Amino acid sequence: MSSRPSLDLAERLAQRGIDMSSPLRSNSPISSYIICTNPRSGSWLLSEGLTASGLAGNPREWFNVLEEDARIPAEQLSTTPEAAYRIYLQHVRAAATTPNGVFGAKLHYYQFAELPEKLGRLEEYRGLSAFELISTVLRHPRHIWLTRRDKARQALSYFRACQSGEWWRIDGVARPAAALEDPPFDGPAIWKLERVLEANERSWQDYFQRHDIEPLVVVYEDLAADYAGQIARVLQWLRIPGADATAVGTPRLKQQSNPQTEAWLAQYQAFKLAFPDDSADADTAVTPVLSSPLYEQSREAEANRTQVRSTTSGKADRLQSALQQLAALAPATSTVERRSALSRNEFLERYYAANRPVIMRGLTDDWPAIRLWSREHFKRCAGDAQVEIMAGRATDPSYETNIHRHRREIRFADYVDQVFDGGASNDYYLTANNDFFRHPGTEALLGEAPPFTEYLDLAKRLGHTFLWFGPAGSMTPLHHDPCNVFMAQVFGRKRFKIVPAKQWSFVYHYATYFSEVDCEHPDFYHWPLFRHANVQEVVLEPGEVLFMPVGWWHQVRSLETSAMVSFTNFVFPNTFDW
């Protein structure tokens, strides 16, 4: 059981603009948990198993100071510390959450103790205790307490990792170049580490008791003996749908103990027998965790693996920053041109391969749809067809990521009347995800919007041609598509707010394709980097075709009752790995 924040906390948060009773944001986790632990307790083993399930978030040490520094992109370091850390929290929320909405994190006690200082950089969290911060930021997480029975072996393992620089072994991964195979034995240092581990263990216990928390207890020795059983036990305790059907694979991590471990253990036990263990000595030995040089060394060594993993992503961030700076020298290259009579080769070289949008005119001049499509024509040609729409969107701020909840079957004639008679609304919309042209009875309308064979593959028409039809006010939030798209406006007008693909670091993406930002009403307090985005606005008129390149961000609103046909069946390659 996890304690809920007190009424006093709720009131204090409300004064800061945080409503704990309101529904979570569209990309906030549905459920969350933290692994409360200390070094060398098997937390990597447990975290890897939960992450590998694909259902239980990505429980890493997200609040390790060097992890934070390595994860904040270089272009964000020029902003204020508050804004930079706010950006990092958004990254954590996305990276630690699996698609089913489960968030996971791992905290050593010293990291937990540092939370008030770290999160206190943000005004709304200033002055809150670690427990209050956990309850607020993670929305009442469940707690897993990972502990280890044999503290002597834990301390030995801790010392060896600190001295050798080797914190884990994985099949196929080379040992760190600087790793020492046989560091010298140091009884007093190991003894102090054991006292630190015991003190932090007591601190976790005190935290659980003070806040009436009953954590799930996982013991390292049990985890090592029955890896699959313990991972399954945690998944079941988290009550994650589908967990019962999840097969637990073989762990990648390899045991690091060796014959030297047993020799050291005997030597350490002899040392402890000779060491005076009265309370005064113990108090002196338990060095405060934040000032212990050895503990600081362990933190740095443990974070080195993060820095190695982040090398590639850091290089990508710097390249991205350079490209953004170069693009700023010639803003006209991001302007959406209007062109006519483009040959296949010019379209390919100037726009498709160059990842540049363009509005094309004249392509639909011969379309029957341009002349015929209307309320009466829709009902006459396909009125009896049973089609699917998205409905009930107005009450769900996450309607795009929750599309499975909004699918409704309806007779097309009834939907047509609803669109034309219902006034402006974003509550119902027929979108590409409804795959209109796959429904029997829609063939006549499909034939009235033929593909542009200069650029599109006629043989791949079905399954790559989509209808968008809805009232004024229908909108799609800021997102990018996983492929290139042609968007042909038949009637009505649509407004597009467009951000270049190379400016992805300004849009606060989540759930792969979507952004936190509302382009129409950007909140620069929460999303400050969006100030740097080059947002272009274009209105697509009837008969015009917009080429939207893969990766370009766009937010779309129908200004009038609108029908649009989109195509993805280009004659050029159009499949990309996201």
pLDDT of residue 307: 45
Strands 494-499 and 475-480: unpaired
Amino acid identity of 111? Q
Question: Do 284 and 190 touch, CB atoms closer than 8 A?
Answer: no
pLDDT of residue 285: 38
User: At the fourth CATH level, which superfamily is domain 7-317?
Assistant: P-loop containing nucleotide triphosphate hydrolases (3.40.50.300)
DSSP string, 403-452: GGGTEEEEEHHHHHHHHHHS-S-SSEEB-GGG-GGGSTT-HHHHHTS---
Strands 475-480 and 509-510: unpaired
Strands (E) across 64-129 are located at: 102-108
Domain boundaries, the chain: 7-317, 330-567
CA quadruple 379, 453, 341, 575: dihedral, nearest 10: 100
d(CA 476, CA 82): 31
Measured CA angle at 473 (ends 472, 474), to 5 deg: 95
Tell me the two tokens of residue 359: 């509005």
Question: Do 491 and 542 touch, CB atoms closer than 8 A?
Answer: yes
Question: Do 519 and 542 touch, CB atoms closer than 8 A?
Answer: no
Question: Do 544 and 489 touch, CB atoms closer than 8 A?
Answer: yes
Question: Do 110 and 290 touch, CB atoms closer than 8 A?
Answer: yes
pLDDT of residue 147: 95
Spelled out in words, what is the top-level CATH class assigned to the domain 330-567? mainly beta
Measuring CA to CA, how many Å separate 547 from each of 356, 359, 460, 535? Answer: 8, 6, 18, 17
Where is 190: in which H helix or E strand?
A: helix 187-210
- Please name which of 432, 420, 434 lies closest in space to residue 470, comparing C-alpha atoms: 420
Strands 142-147 and 216-219: parallel
How would you class 200 by CB atoms within 10 Å of its CB: exposed for 0-12, middle for 13-18, buried for 19 or more?
A: buried
Amino acid identity of 469? F
pLDDT of residue 264: 80
- Please name which of 197, 353, 369, 162 lies closest in space to residue 285, comparing C-alpha atoms: 197
pTM of the model: 0.53
- Please name which of 317, 328, 355 lies closest in space to residue 504, comparing C-alpha atoms: 317
Question: Do 522 and 537 touch, CB atoms closer than 8 A?
Answer: no
Would you write out the chain's pLDDT as a tens digit for each of its 578 residues?
444 444 455 555 555 454 444 333 334 556 899 999 999 898 888 998 999 899 999 999 888 876 776 666 544 555 677 777 888 888 888 889 988 889 999 999 988 988 888 888 888 888 888 888 888 887 779 999 999 999 988 988 888 877 766 665 565 555 554 445 567 778 888 888 898 999 999 999 999 999 899 999 999 999 989 999 999 999 999 988 888 877 787 776 666 666 677 888 888 887 777 655 543 343 343 333 334 444 444 444 444 433 443 444 455 556 666 776 777 676 666 689 999 999 999 999 999 999 999 999 999 999 999 999 999 999 999 999 999 999 999 988 889 888 888 999 999 999 999 999 999 999 999 999 999 999 999 999 999 999 999 999 999 998 999 999 999 999 999 999 999 999 999 999 999 999 999 888 888 887 778 998 999 999 887 788 898 899 999 999 999 999 999 999 999 999 999 999 999 999 999 998 87
Q: Crossing angle of helices 109-119/130-137, nearest 10°?
A: 80
pLDDT of residue 281: 43
Only one residue has tokens 């549905």, namely: 30
Decide if 7-317 and 330-567 have a common fold: no
d(CA 563, CA 419): 11
- Please name which of 31, 58, 54, 63 lies closest in space to residue 44, comparing C-alpha atoms: 58
pLDDT of residue 283: 39
Where is 196: in which H helix or E strand?
A: helix 187-210
Using the Cα atoms of residue 73, residue 74, residue 79 and residue 80 in order, give the sign of their dihedral: positive
d(CA 21, CA 5): 11
- Please name which of 39, 59, 46, 158 lies closest in space to residue 108, comparing C-alpha atoms: 39
- Please name which of 306, 294, 291, 301 lies closest in space to residue 114, comparing C-alpha atoms: 291
DSSP string, 21-77: TSPPPTTS-SEEEEEEE-TTSSHHHHHHHHHHTTSS---B-TT-HHHHHHHS-GGGT
Tell me the two tokens of residue 496: 């597009």
